[in-house]
Amino acid sequence: MMKKTVLAIMFLLPFAGYAQKIQTEIGVYGGGSVFHYLSSQLVYDKQFASIKTEAKAGAGWTGGADLAWIFLTAEETKDRFFLNSASVFFSPSWIGRSYKISQNGKDYDFFMSFLGLEAGARAKFLKIFTAGIGGFIHLPISSPKILDKTVSKEHFKSEIGILLEAGAAIPLFDEFELFGGLNFKLSLTKFYENKTLSSMNLLDNINDTGPQSMMSEILWLKAGIKMKVDF
């Protein structure tokens, strides 16, 4: 038993030494968004039905945490190519977005909330500027009413896509930074799909409408404060 313990410690020592060099950044942020989304709707007009696809704009809010592990520091990069540091990040968030659905020439609002998870790589250059790339998933956590009809949860899917970010991090005190910037998300999946509209209970199929599918691209403006922690 003692021999196994010694071997385990010897195996872990190099990793422990490396881990001591890793800086961790912990931050909280909030922000707002404008987004563009495609909405395909099934439109009934007397005996006829047709598919109508519209591009619409909406607005939303977000708040969350930002956790980053710096694996490349300024001492190691020696500011080559103006690069000061590189890190991997993970960011959980709470998201709310407002959408519009058209019916008989009128727009109706409905609200959705998501649990967001982001992960990727981020670089800092020229002392204050940051840029990153990664992926995201938005998990729907609400079943809203659309056109006053409660829609089944099974029709709401997870949004999965790619993200790009650009911003700045300005030192505030020795261990704190103010950070902010733009975050662009392009969804590769539909977050809502209901081809049969079976859950919409469409009256008598006369002059009625219902959304079949929705997918979005989102531009966030975020700002927050971050603290550096050494382990």
Determine the pLDDT at residue 103: 62
Domains for the chain: give ranges and CATH numbers. 35-230 (2.40.160)
What average pLDDT score do residues 10-16 get?
Answer: 43
Residue type, 175: E
Which neighbouring-strand residues pair with 214? 39, 192
Average pLDDT in the chain? 78
Determine the pLDDT at residue 198: 46
**Top-ranked range on mean pLDDT: pick from 5-9, 87-91, 204-208:** 87-91
Q: What is the number of helices (H) and of strands (E) in the chain? A: 2, 11
Q: What is the pLDDT of residues 103-119, one digit of tens each?
A: 666 677 778 899 999 99
What average pLDDT score do residues 111-135 get?
Answer: 93
Tokens of 83: 């690069």
Tokens of 219: 């531009």
Task: Find the helix or strand (DSSP H, E) in which 151 lies.
Answer: none
Cα angle 82, 87, 88; round to 5: 145
Taken in order 133, 123, 117, 210, the sign of the CA dihedral is negative
Instruction: Please choose, from the candidates 54, 136, 53, 64, the residue with its C-alpha nearest in 3D space to the C-alpha of residue 96.
Output: 64
pLDDT band at 85 (very low <50, low <70, confident <90, very high): confident
Determine the pLDDT at residue 75: 67
On whether the pTM is more than 0.85, the answer is no
Distance CA 189, CA 167 (A): 26
